[in-house]
A and B are shown apart, each in its own frame.
Chain A
Amino acid sequence: DAGVIQSPRHEVTEMGQEVTLRCKPISGHNSLFWYRQTMMRGLELLIYFNNNVPIDDSGMPEDRFSAKMPNASFSTLKIQPSEPRDSAVYFCASSRQGGNSPLHFGNGTRLTVT
């Protein structure tokens, strides 16, 4: 199993541009999470899905952020328009549903907005 796959690994874009981050969870996992990691704030949960349905998006910072999960094997996180303060590493993670199931993280996407 290749694990959770994220793309791209690095993204550099200019302020105002649209950014789309992609994630393929581990097959058979029915929970998917998007996290943002910064030096100042550590790991913040943005949104998570169970069985492709968004359950909690209270961590999504602004309306500029949106996430979708059209099927069990794919999710996107979109920022439109992007701003320099969005620069961070964005992690996707998946797990089997259930309180004891560990999260499996992707390698992350390092986003730089200039």
Chain B
Amino acid sequence: AQRVTQPEKLLSVFKGAPVELKCNYSYSGSPELFWYVQYSRQRLQLLLRHISRESIKGFTADLNKGETSFHLKKPFAQEEDSAMYYCALSTHAGNMLTFGGGTRLMVKP
């Protein structure tokens, strides 16, 4: 069975500092990895997915199959980045997502 682990429940940084939200997964096949974000009082929404290799709002994430990781990074955090971030995994068998426990990012002024 697949599993997604986000080791940090809370990450607090100052504005302008680099950010890395960790995500590790376990799955025997080839997974699809996603990052979802939930801003205060808003619905959960897709931030980025590994197959797109895109940068959204300055965030990037690289799939490292050797380390089974998909860490989310941003070189310079902004206050508006404060939110709950969820890493998620989908198998090729379907689009059922398994979510990690989430990391709350707080960016202080």
Please report A residues at the B interface, Cβ cutoff 8 Å: 3-4, 31, 33, 35, 41-45, 48, 50, 55-56, 91, 93, 95, 97-108
B99 adjacent to chain A (CB < 8 Å): yes
B interface, how many residues as a size bin?
20 to 34
Please report B residues at the A interface, Cβ cutoff 8 Å: 32, 34, 36, 42-46, 49, 51, 86, 90-102
Give Cα distance in the complex from A42 to B49, angstroms.
20
Residues of A within 8 A of B36 (CB): 103
Of all A-B residue pairs in the complex, the 10 with the closest CB atoms, nearest first, are A42-B101, A43-B99, A105-B44, A102-B46, A105-B43, A42-B102, A107-B43, A99-B92, A101-B95, A99-B90
On whether the beta carbons of A106 and B43 are closer than 8 Å, the reply is: yes
Residues of B within 8 A of A45 (CB): 96-99
